[in-house]
Structure 1
Amino acid sequence: MKPYQVACFGEVLWDILPDKKLPGGAPMNVAYHLQKLGVPVAMISATGNDADGDDLRQVMVQLQLDTTFIQTDPRHETGKVYARLAATNEMQYEIVQPVAWDFIQASDRLKEIAKMPGYLVFGSLASRNEVSRETLLSLLDGGRTLVLDINLRPPHFTQELVELLLQHCHILKINEAELAQIGDWYKFPASMEERVRAFSQKYDISTIIVTLGDKGAALLMENAFYLHSGYKVTVADTIGSGDAFLAGFLYNRIVNTPPAVTLAYACALGALVASYHGGCPAYDPNEIIALMNK
């Protein structure tokens, strides 16, 4: 089997905007940016046996994404999310359910993928249904470095689910609002660094990334805390910018870049994608370095 350095588990779908539809889903966005950076990625998901599924698979092939592990569900439709831009410049989402990616089936081939060295990226959304959740849990003890992009989308999570996933996590990506929400469950300190360190202690997570929107990001890694103020761009939309950030972070971990540079690169890629429309835009990776050098 192909030596996939990263496996991304979860939703593949169509983002339905007021004027167009775009391919998306956080794990697929991460996979897209990683493969653009030259990292072999396995995308594990499911589409429906319908025209939307056919179109989505065709787009994935055009984006040069490996579709080997995209299952076809004969009973449920391909995933859709209705997205609109709020006044705060953040996207708001209505996520249809149930859909095909709620029913990803376990298999021996997926367990083989889980045992390969590298990273496994997953989130809370694809765990909302018991079928996909059980499949995911069957892959978490294979030996990969587990990357949880928590991605809380009300009403598609519970505290119990979040706590379960946090127990299976080596690298956590979380945004500022999610850090505040989960931190309040445990009455963690108010200051961001103290809250992140308390999080790290409670769940024994050595690497925590906090995305701060247009204010950049923070990183706790090997007990050192890093901050980056981000890069200023003209925002087209913020769809997938956090996913691009995570891809930039993982790429730099794979090539063993120092933490501060890793954080800067991730911020630059996230900002670059926010300057384009959609989560999987066409761009030249050299634009990332150009933005960092501005």
Structure 2
Amino acid sequence: MPTPDVLVAGEAIVDFLPDRPGPLQAVEGFSRRAGGAPANVAIALARLGERPWFLSNLSTDAFGDFLADTLTSEGVPERFLTRDADHRTTLAFVAHDASADRSFSFYRTATADQHIDPSVVGDDALDGLSWVTLGGVALASDPARSRLLDFAERAREHDCTVVFDPNSRPELWSDTATYERVLDDALALTDVCKVSDEDLAGTRFGDESLDTLLDAGPHTVLSTRGADGARVVADGRAPWGPAEHEHTGYAVEPTDTTGAGDAFLAGALYALANGEPLSETLAFANAVAALATTESGAIAALPDREAVMEFRTN
């Protein structure tokens, strides 16, 4: 099996999905699912055939064992997974509205994902990588925040393309000013950024064009619009050159939109890592995201490459 060319860094957590739509106080039962945006991206890439390294820290509690078993069963290598007996696993309880959109309630005090240790990734490993991907949830608190920002800087020194998904969860941040400051720090170290409107709400980027994000650091910005598809802009620094494309997405009947953005990012990474042009990258990523919404949970419906190609031809 080839050595991974992509490394995904960030949290793996446990999502509890409701047995019915509506507010959490009306829900009587939940089902347990592996989650966390970076873990979702890593698993989605593995299913597509682009097996990545995954840098994270898992608790040794029962939920951590569940996450470790899930990652192993999905073919994600454990080389850069550390285990932590001193901190528990983050839990997220999900609520769904009538259109299958979701909101989260986190239980994340002194948890394992806040203690990710990028020092386990040596310079020799970075020399063998082309892509390093970070998620924003792990940047919400230290020590993970400072460690991962330092890691992004080190990755760039080794000529890795740094991909960043802010994945904003306002309830995890002390205030909007702190989020915006960390967002600025991360964008300055980013080559490719994937964002949604929610990620930028309340920040100086929220009412501006994507060009403002390009000015903050990335040479390429992928902007998701839910059922309305996605857009990409790139400037002259991008290896694929300046460009702008849109894709209107694919019509599906969603069951659960949890993880759709993560599926999109994995699809985009897969396409870019395999040398696809930006227009094809958007189309492929939108197809992966659409398929991911057709079952409950962020991972259950993640497709392989063959399923994506069949979906696009129907």
TM-score by length of 1: 0.91
Pick closer, same or farther for the CA change 1:162–1:148 going to 2, 3 Å: same
> What do the CA deviations read for 1:39-70 (whole angstroms, capped 9, x no partner)?
13111111112111112111211111112211
Partner of residue 191 from structure 2, selected from 170, 184, 188: 170
Match of residue 149 from structure 1: 165
The whole-number CA distance in structure 2 between the counterparts of 1:257 and 1:36 is 18
The whole-number CA distance in structure 1 between the counterparts of 2:105 and 2:206 is 30
Q: How far off its partner does 1:187 sit?
A: 7.7
Match of residue 11 from structure 1: 11
* Aligned residue type for 2:293: A
Deviates more, 1:244-253 or 1:171-180: 171-180
The whole-number CA distance in structure 2 between the counterparts of 1:77 and 1:216 is 37
Does the aligned pair in 2 maintain the 1:126–1:132 contact within 8 Å?
yes
Pick closer, same or farther for the CA change 1:284–1:79 going to 2, 3 Å: same
Q: How far off its partner does 1:99 sit?
A: 1.0
Aligned length: 285
The whole-number CA distance in structure 2 between the counterparts of 1:152 and 1:178 is 5
> What do the CA deviations read for 1:230-276 (whole angstroms, capped 9, x no partner)?
00111110111111111111111111112111100100010011112
Residue 136, structure 1, aligned to residue 148, structure 2: yes
Match of residue 125 from structure 2: 113
Q: How far off its partner does 1:177 sit?
A: 2.8
Report the identity percentage: 27
Match of residue 287 from structure 1: 307
Partner of residue 26 from structure 1, selected from 23, 37, 49: 37
Match of residue 199 from structure 1: 213
* Aligned residue type for 2:197: E
Pick closer, same or farther for the CA change 1:236–1:161 going to 2, 3 Å: same
Partner of residue 96 from structure 1, selected from 92, 97, 107: 107
Does the aligned pair in 1 maintain the 2:46–2:74 contact within 8 Å?
no
The whole-number CA distance in structure 1 between the counterparts of 2:71 and 2:31 is 17
Pick closer, same or farther for the CA change 1:74–1:234 going to 2, 3 Å: same
Does the aligned pair in 1 maintain the 2:194–2:222 contact within 8 Å?
yes
Structure 2 runs not aligned, ≥5 long:
19-29, 174-178, 235-240
Partner of residue 261 from structure 2, selected from 234, 242, 245: 242
Q: How far off its partner does 1:133 sit?
A: 1.6
The whole-number CA distance in structure 2 between the counterparts of 1:186 and 1:153 is 16
Structure 1 runs not aligned, ≥5 long:
190-194
Secondary structure, counterpart of 1:107 in structure 2? helix
Secondary structure, counterpart of 2:171 in structure 1? coil
The whole-number CA distance in structure 2 between the counterparts of 1:243 and 1:23 is 13
The whole-number CA distance in structure 2 between the counterparts of 1:232 and 1:83 is 24
The whole-number CA distance in structure 2 between the counterparts of 1:110 and 1:149 is 23
* Aligned residue type for 1:146: V
Q: How far off its partner does 1:126 sit?
A: 0.4
> What do the CA deviations read for 1:199-243 (whole angstroms, capped 9, x no partner)?
21x213211000000010011133321111100111110111111
Secondary structure, counterpart of 1:275 in structure 2? coil
RMSD: 1.9
The whole-number CA distance in structure 2 between the counterparts of 1:92 and 1:112 is 40
Partner of residue 67 from structure 1, selected from 61, 78, 83: 78
> What do the CA deviations read for 1:18-59 (whole angstroms, capped 9, x no partner)?
230101110011111111122131111111121111121112
Residue 269, structure 1, aligned to residue 288, structure 2: yes
* Aligned residue type for 1:268: A
Pick closer, same or farther for the CA change 1:33–1:186 going to 2, 3 Å: closer
Pick closer, same or farther for the CA change 1:107–1:169 going to 2, 3 Å: same
* Aligned residue type for 2:7: A
Match of residue 232 from structure 2: 219
Deviates more, 1:2-11 or 1:43-52: 2-11
Residue 278, structure 1, aligned to residue 292, structure 2: no
Match of residue 23 from structure 2: none
Residue 208, structure 1, aligned to residue 254, structure 2: no
The whole-number CA distance in structure 2 between the counterparts of 1:176 and 1:138 is 27
Deviates more, 1:41-50 or 1:102-111: 102-111
* Aligned residue type for 1:31: A
Pick closer, same or farther for the CA change 1:271–1:186 going to 2, 3 Å: closer
Pick closer, same or farther for the CA change 1:77–1:275 going to 2, 3 Å: same
Does the aligned pair in 2 maintain the 1:46–1:73 contact within 8 Å?
yes
The whole-number CA distance in structure 2 between the counterparts of 1:127 and 1:33 is 22
